[in-house]
């Protein structure tokens, strides 16, 4: 039975904690070449033609003005075992990229290596949405790896257990 209650912001957040989601790190470079990134737990494909994705970014995030002005950004869906990377970019410190293997991609955006999925995007729009801004980006390059994605459920990291369908 589904229970109903007054919908306070924490009620909606607690309810959505029961929805499994992938964890992603979104990166860009500013006009001076400094690298920026943040952790996102909600990335969605919005359209197939053209290929569009949405990523929410807190309005009060220190990096919001950088992403609002960016010519490009990359969405990296993290793989199992990269919980520390999700935590690192959630902190929003200046040394997020320290000791990481990074390549340069579309428009010189920093690309994290060894992730489950990487989407390089050209910004299309930024839509205000409550205490967040939804970054809408057109995917200009996509790469998938052999790894299982890192999953977040009930306020904790989880691992997918896949059955071997070839058996």
DSSP string, 68-98: HH-S-EEEEEPBTT-HHHHHHHHHT-TTTTT
- Low-confidence winner among 25-34, 56-65, 104-113, 155-164 (lowest mean pLDDT): 155-164
DSSP H stretches of helix in 33-167: 64-69, 83-91
| Tokens matching residue 56 | 């929410």
Three-state DSSP class for 9? helix
pLDDT score for 6: 65
Residues composing the chain = 167
Instruction: Tell me the pTM.
Output: 0.88
Q: Where are the domains of the chain?
A: 22-154
- Quick: pLDDT tens for 110-142: 999 999 999 999 999 999 999 999 999 999 999
Homologous superfamily in CATH for domain 22-154: Electron Transport, Fmn-binding Protein; Chain A (2.30.110.10)
Q: Residue 31 is inside which H or E element, if any? A: none
């Amino acid at each position: 039975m589904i229970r109903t209650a007054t919908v306070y912001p924490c009620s909606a957040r607690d309810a959505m904690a029961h929805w499994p989601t992938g964890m992603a790190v979104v990166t860009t470079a500013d006009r001076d070449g400094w690298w920026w990134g943040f952790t996102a737990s909600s990335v969605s494909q919005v359209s197939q033609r053209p290929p569009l994705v949405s990523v929410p970014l807190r309005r009060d995030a220190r990096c919001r003005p950088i992403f609002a002005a960016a010519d490009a950004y990359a969405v990296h869906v993290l793989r199992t075992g990269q919980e520390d990377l999700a935590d690192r970019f959630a902190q929003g410190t200046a040394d997020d990229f320290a000791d990481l293997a990074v390549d340069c991609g579309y428009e010189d955006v920093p690309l994290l290596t060894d992730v489950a999925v990487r989407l390089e995007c050209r910004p299309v729009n930024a839509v205000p949405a409550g205490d967040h801004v939804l970054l809408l980006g057109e995917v200009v390059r996509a790469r998938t790896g052999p790894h299982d994605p890192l999953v977040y459920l009930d306020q904790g990291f989880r691992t997918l257990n896949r059955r071997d369908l070839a058996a």
